[in-house]
Structure 1
């Protein structure tokens, strides 16, 4: 029997109808198995983002040289790597499901229905409150830019801070079927490494000449996820502790380096490829409680990501007579933050919000 890496997909079984690898039924089943490691990794990523915003909410922007906002940025970098990896696996499953039919259009439609419904609800909700209560509400142009998640193209501010990363992710989806074709060919990891180097060189070149590179600055992070997919057949000889120890070490060191004025973007070019090379080498975590926690948090991570920011208190309100005081739906638009905090301390009204949404993208969904 051929080895796992020697088989081939039937012709037309990649995003644009080219030839790629195919696997036996038992090997395909292995690819579809739940990955507790990826669930825990995604849970850690969303946890970093939430903790970062909670610290910022309480004015802890720096703790002993620890740049707290960068912890959230690290969480987004992990999201980029994780999402590209599991979407490549999703494209592979679609190939097995639909045979030699093109899958790119279906992939784009599926991703749009996964991302847009909840983001639109959040944008409409936040913008409606701002139009009602804020002295500086978003313009119609900014509102529509947020609805379509193209703020990075129009230069409009995000109506809630966490939306900044979604445009980059959506735009990267346009390249994934083509990258899947490349990743399904022989010696794929070498081609992906070459693309990674080219993207880094392009960013540096554009930066050197003072040209805009915002649209491609995160390509190396996304390509790291594709690299992890190319290395999926690596023997899993390392304990899962290695993966989580690496993430923990980076979470401790990365904000310190950013506080020392090192470029977060440049640091991501080291952090993300290292993560991509570690993920395939590690065996799955065996702890049942850790598996359950990772699965639950990863399943609702998109809802957590979108809803938590307007910072724990965006969803909380205080009644003062007949007036409802909403505490700054934007970090940069809150004009009366101290008064709102004082009011809430006098009349605390906790509001619990449970968001039930489909999984954003876990290792078991596509």
Structure 2
């Protein structure tokens, strides 16, 4: 680790306005585009890569669209790309923020669109044509428990199985909150990444379920690499940071053995470790390239809109998409027109949710969470007067005697 912390680098193309995070560089719109690619990969996997639910298409994708399925069966790796970008973006957005600001930013980012998606998806699961025989109707307690986003630790059925990644994200936010509380600095963040990596490797071979729950061995290398890539973006590359990214990749490629075994269940045949590793290497490479400024000139404004739609698309595509696909197939629509029409419908629905639900609800929640009354007091509130405290037991005793 360097003896002195490198200053935030600047760029001739960037605005030189100063803020709590230092000089502001151009918005990384390329990351928004990468998020959309990751979301569409996951959509492709669920719609055209999974063979376990033949009732959706009236046959398996492997037989109906073999050319596409050869590629889309690896679409689940979009989640790994998501986690890489998440590590980068969370570190970037929280630099210079207080713990309260960090908490507020995560709540208003995650919950508004999620609550709307829970409502829409729950209606489809319970009242639309059943898309999968394994899918059971949701009870009211299942629905209400899902609103917390803690359905996995509560042992409750998820409204949409794709929501499993949200529990992973929540745990990342929780452990990263430790560094936010201490104050983000180059040394602290890099030390945090090193300690987390060591714990994740140790936990993998231990029987400590609590440790494994928090360090998330299978996904930790992606979050860690994303965080380190933000340090590269902010302070510039050095061999320590580049070595940390490389080490994260080496750990990640090994963890892909378990990831491939997990998704074999849906694809229903073995998956190639070589293919998964090549994609993982490409994902690391493209995010690292963004961190090193390779895409600073990519400033297409439509990418910001695409990035904003990513979260609603992810939340809405699976169960609602399955229902739409089955309905279209029941009407005799061909495979490719069905894919195009359902994708357009989900993108439109996602835009509606973002524009008319997520944005206004996020603004309302931010105002509520920023209200002065919600701030934790720096000291205990004043104790009520001694006379009031002395009178209360007598009043309670008198009330009990009259019952």
* 1:64-108, Cα deviation, whole Å (9 max, x unpaired): 894734313x21121122122222221125x4xxxxxxx212321
1:191 aligns with 2:191: yes
Match of 1:68 in 2: 72
> Which of 269, 279, 292 is matched with 1:281 structurally?
292
Structure 2 unaligned residues grouped into runs of 5+: 9-15, 50-55, 238-251, 261-269, 360-365, 367-403
Match of 2:32 in 1: 39
Match of 2:330 in 1: 343
Distance 1:172 1:186, change over 3 A: closer
Match of 1:104 in 2: 99
Paired residues of 2:38 and 2:78 also in contact (CA < 8 A): yes
Match of 2:390 in 1: none
Paired residues of 1:221 and 1:272 also in contact (CA < 8 A): no
Paired residues of 1:183 and 1:189 also in contact (CA < 8 A): no
1:28 is displaced (CA, Å) by 5.4
Paired residues of 1:123 and 1:147 also in contact (CA < 8 A): yes
1:137 is displaced (CA, Å) by 0.7
1:304 aligns with 2:313: yes
Give distance in 2, aligned partners of 1:91 and 1:77: 21
1:218-257 maps to which residues of 2 (within 5 A)?
Answer: 218-233=219-234, 235=236
1:91 aligns with 2:94: yes
1:1-366 maps to which residues of 2 (within 5 A)?
Answer: 5-6=6-7, 25=18, 30-31=23-24, 33-56=26-49, 59-60=60-61, 66=70, 68-72=72-76, 74-92=77-95, 95=97, 103-132=98-127, 136-180=136-180, 184-187=184-187, 190-206=190-206, 209=207, 211=209, 213=212, 215=214, 216-217=216-217, 218-233=219-234, 235=236, 258=260, 259-260=270-271, 262=273, 277-284=288-295, 286=297, 291-310=300-319, 312-314=321-323, 316=324, 327=326, 343-345=330-332, 352=345, 353-356=348-351, 357=354
With structure 2 as the length reference, what TM-score do the two structures score?
0.58
Structure 1 unaligned residues grouped into runs of 5+: 8-22, 96-102, 237-249, 318-326, 328-339
Paired residues of 2:87 and 2:222 also in contact (CA < 8 A): no
Give distance in 1, aligned partners of 2:197 and 2:277: 13
Larger radius of gyration: 2
Paired residues of 1:50 and 1:305 also in contact (CA < 8 A): yes
Distance 1:44 1:4, change over 3 A: farther
Give distance in 2, aligned partners of 1:261 and 1:152: 29
CA RMSD of aligned residues (A): 4.5
Paired residues of 1:78 and 1:272 also in contact (CA < 8 A): yes
Equivalent pairs, count: 294
Paired residues of 1:40 and 1:294 also in contact (CA < 8 A): yes
Paired residues of 2:45 and 2:72 also in contact (CA < 8 A): yes
Give distance in 2, aligned partners of 1:198 and 1:268: 24
Distance 1:285 1:32, change over 3 A: closer
Give distance in 2, aligned partners of 1:71 and 1:39: 18
1:313 is displaced (CA, Å) by 4.3
Higher normalized helix content (fraction of residues): 2
Match of 1:242 in 2: none
Distance 1:70 1:143, change over 3 A: farther
Give distance in 2, aligned partners of 1:264 and 1:149: 32
1:25 is paired with a residue of what secondary structure? coil
Match of 2:264 in 1: none
1:165 is displaced (CA, Å) by 0.9
1:159 is paired with a residue of what secondary structure? coil
With structure 1 as the length reference, what TM-score do the two structures score?
0.63
1:210 is displaced (CA, Å) by 8.5
Give distance in 2, aligned partners of 1:228 and 1:266: 19
1:79 is paired with a residue of what secondary structure? helix
Paired residues of 2:28 and 2:290 also in contact (CA < 8 A): no
